Amino acid sequence: MFRRSITPLLIGTFILRASSGASTVILGLFLAHFATPAPHMITNVQVGLLPVAFYSAELSLALFMGGLGDRWGRHRFMIVGPVFGLVHAALFFFTPAINPLPYLLSLQVLAGISGAMTTPAVLGYLADFTMYNQGQRMRIMSFYELVTTGGIAAGTVLGGFAWDHFKRYSFFLLALLYVIVSVCMALAPRVAQVVDRGSTRVVLARYLHILRTPRLFIFIPAWLCISALLGVWFSSQITFILSSPVHHPHQLLMGSLSGVGGGHLLSLMLGGFVLFFGLCLLFWAFFLNKVPRLRLMLLSIGGVYMACVALFGMNHVSGIWLYVWVPLLLLGTFAETSFAPSALSYLADISEDAAKDRGLLMGLYSVFLGLGQMLGNGLGGVFARDFGFDGLIYLTAILAAVALVSLLWLFKQEHPRLA
């Protein structure tokens, strides 16, 4: 029954994530196209600034939008949020050829508003829908993870093909997808929501109490750093590096997909990787109850370093060594994907008694995710400018080290609870 009742929301989420995945690829190819005739117009640092603008808007508004959803109802935010994404996508077509950066940054702010309205509302809605059935909650969250990552994978494949066939008209296709998302969210059934009409001071006092919880405070650096890794590797920066006409004599991956048909190949590669990423997430979602969550998060850090070794090898040594690097990369990816479902479950454990403030808490999730990805994109642009593809690997290793220290400290605090 629950699958039928939330089917519109799952379909809408799939299409929303597909639009996001396609937008990342299309935007990267679009910016690389801008950079080809005039390299001084678009640089790695400027590419990194665009996600920074997006996440600045999203994280600064997520708590506010989540709180409004607590008071006014989340359903309407689920419907209106994609409308801002529609406007954002359509306006890319009119990007000026001269000094496009201010215009592009403004569009990213619109996308950030869309994310701030939609993500806390959807996650709060799912929490409300499964309020009285924890077993159902685990299954629904697993399906949510599957459509999220599957949508990103499908969108990543769609993005390259759309650009090769439609060029900048691809942005109108993205706008159409947002229309469909809004319709799907409108079709999602209404659910009972705990609404708090108390004063703003009381709500803020409750929320500050949650923020001061030691378990959450110690966990924040790890959450931010892993979110930053998503910003490093799941953004337009990697697309820009691989498809840019700029090559490096000692780094094989720099500009490796800049030739004819590069968009198709890039989409297939990234889409396949994201799909594998999503299947790993689904496995961990069902496996969470068998292994303590903190141990899974520590395992994920080991996976990050395995992936770093594999990527460094692929960037410098080709030929038969690919039979070593590719399996190592997949194994490392499998291990590192255990972090996301473990972290979300851990965050839910902390906030179990805050039903009145689900929107705010889901907004907090968006803040951690957005601030981390903003950090990763900003630093990623600087490291890519100075060290090329290797710079992204160096930055990944640094962020993983900070996350490891945070998790070890948290593990020490939680050890009596795990024993």
**116 is written with which tokens?**
């701030």
Alpha-helical runs (H) found in 317-388: 322-336, 339-350, 358-387
In the predicted model, is pLDDT for residue 1 greater than 50? no
- Highest-scoring range by mean pLDDT, 78-87, 90-99, 344-353: 78-87
Beta-carbon contacts of residue 284 (< 8 Å; ≥ 6 apart): 296, 337, 338, 340, 341, 342
- Supply 383's token pair: 């490291």
Q: Token pair of 78, please? A: 């689920």
Quote the percentage of the chain above a pLDDT of 70.
Answer: 81
Summarised one tens digit per residue, pLDDT across range 152-177 is 878 877 888 888 888 888 999 999 99
Give the H/E segment covering residue 28.
Answer: helix 7-35
CB atoms within 10 A of CB 192: 9
Average pLDDT for 359-369: 72
DSSP string covering 371-409: HHHHHHHHHHHHHHHHHTHHHHHHHHHHHHHHHHHHHHH
User: Which residue reads 């709500």 in tokens?
Assistant: 203
Q: What whole-number distance in Å separates Cα of residue 382 and Cα of residue 368?
A: 21
Integer Rg of the chain from CA: 21
DSSP-H helix ranges across 92-213: 101-129, 134-166, 170-187, 200-211
- d(CA 207, CA 66) in angstroms, rounded, equals 12
| Domain residue limits, the chain | 2-189+203-418
* Helix segments in 92-133, DSSP class H: 101-129
SS3 251: strand
Average pLDDT (52-63) is: 82
Burial of 168 (0-12, 13-18, 19+ CB in 10 A): middle
Q: What is the pLDDT of residue 162?
A: 87
Q: What is the pLDDT of residue 13?
A: 93
Helix locations, 36-100, DSSP H: 44-72, 74-91
Listed residue (228, 230, 3, 15) closest to 130, CA to CA? 3
CATH number of 2-189+203-418: 1.20.1250.20
Q: 248 pairs with which residues across the strands? A: 251
* φ, ψ dihedrals at 49, nearest 5°: -70, -30
More confident: 64 or 306: 306
pLDDT digit string, tens, across residues 210-250: 667 777 788 889 989 998 998 888 776 777 787 776 667 78
Q: Are 37 and 170 in contact (CB under 8 A)?
A: no
- Of the two residues 153 and 88, the one the predictor is more confident about is 88
Residues 6+ apart with CB under 8 A from 100: 34, 41, 42
Residue 393 has pLDDT above 90, yes or no: yes
Angle at 3 between CA 137 and CA 128, to 5 degrees: 40
The HSE-up count of residue 257 (CA atoms within 13 Å, CB side) is 22
CA–CA gap between residue 35 and residue 51 (Å, rounded): 18
pTM score, whole prediction:
0.71
What is d(CA 49, CA 398) in angstroms, rounded to the nearest whole number? 20
Q: 248 in helix, strand or coil?
A: strand
Q: Which of 152, 82, 149, 71 has its CA nearest to residue 122?
A: 82
C-alpha 37 chain-centroid distance: 31
